[in-house]
Amino acid sequence: MFVSRSMVSQVITIDKDASVFEAQEKMAANGIRHLPIVDADNRLIGIVTDRDIRSVMPYRLIKEKGIAEEREKVAHLKVEDIMTRNPKTISPMYTIQDALLMIQKEKVGAFPVVDDEGKLQGILSVRDLLRAFINVLGIGQPGTLVGIEVEEKIGQMKKIVDAITEENISFGSVLVARTWDEGKRAVFPYLLTNNVSKVKKKLSAMGYKLINPMDWYLDKLPKKP
């Protein structure tokens, strides 16, 4: 899964000489929060975000746009003055996993995607990553999530997958939570079927503990680092 498949390729950019008001309007009109700035050769020189704009605007101008004297004070500001120069970028050949980890590390909302020559090829935002993640989870297709607690040893997954496959059920995805109770893992197959009661009984008969659905979620997630 490469970034080039999930990024937005038709990037909306802005000129470095544009005013902050123009940038603000462009974001609002397109429902976006990041505007890359490129030179005449499509080389990336910076990025401006809705936060950059908000931080230079008096509070009242964010709420109500009409006050002339307040506008005057920021009218001279250009995109060039507030943009982040040389922002963190990623390559189209980065994987989605790279991008997920980088977003967590850099605490930004989007990465410009830049090729080896420094030319802007696209932009990848948290929103695009979410879409890719929804695809990976398989939850765009009808199915049922099942939770199974397993011992932390080799070969457990094969047994589960075999048992489910024997029932002629396809998988939408399989998630594994590694931070479960001590010595245990939790396996969450998303099965593309409405008919899970038989396979649940089968897994129980094999000795697996089915996880109470109300124990599935947040309380078992690892604490923030």
Partner 1 sequence: MKRTGYLHDNRYLLHDTGPYHPEMADRLIAVYNGIKDAGLLDQVTLIPAVRADIKWIKAVHDPNYIRRFEEICLSGNRTFDYPDNQMCVDTYETAFLAVGGILDVARRIMEGELDNAFCAVRPPGHHAERDQAMGFCYLNNVAIAARYLQMEHGIQRVGIIDSDVHHGNGTQHIFEKDPTVFYYSIHQHPSFAFPGTGREFEEGSGEGRGFTKNSPVLPGQGDDVYERLIQSDLLPAFERFKPEVIIVSTGFDGHRDDDMSDVTLSTEGYSWIMETIMKLGNRYAAGRVISVLEGGYCLERLGELAANHVRILLNG
Q: Which residues bind partner 1 (CB under 8 A)?
A: 139, 141-145, 168-170, 192-198, 200-201, 212-214, 216
Q: Which is nearer to partner 1, 8 or 174 (CB)?
A: 174
Least distance (Å) between residue 210 CB and partner 1: 10
Q: Which is nearer to partner 1, 84 or 204 (CB)?
A: 204
Least distance (Å) between residue 180 CB and partner 1: 18
Q: Which residues sit opposite 186 in a β-bridge?
A: 149, 177
Least distance (Å) between residue 188 CB and partner 1: 11
Through-space distance between the first and last CA atoms of the chain, rounded to whole angstroms: 27
Least distance (Å) between residue 120 CB and partner 1: 34
CA distance 219 to 202: 28
- For the record, the structure tokens of 72 come out as 């005057």
Q: Which is nearer to partner 1, 42 or 135 (CB)?
A: 135
Q: Which is nearer to partner 1, 39 or 215 (CB)?
A: 215
Least distance (Å) between residue 174 CB and partner 1: 16
Q: Which is nearer to partner 1, 45 or 145 (CB)?
A: 145
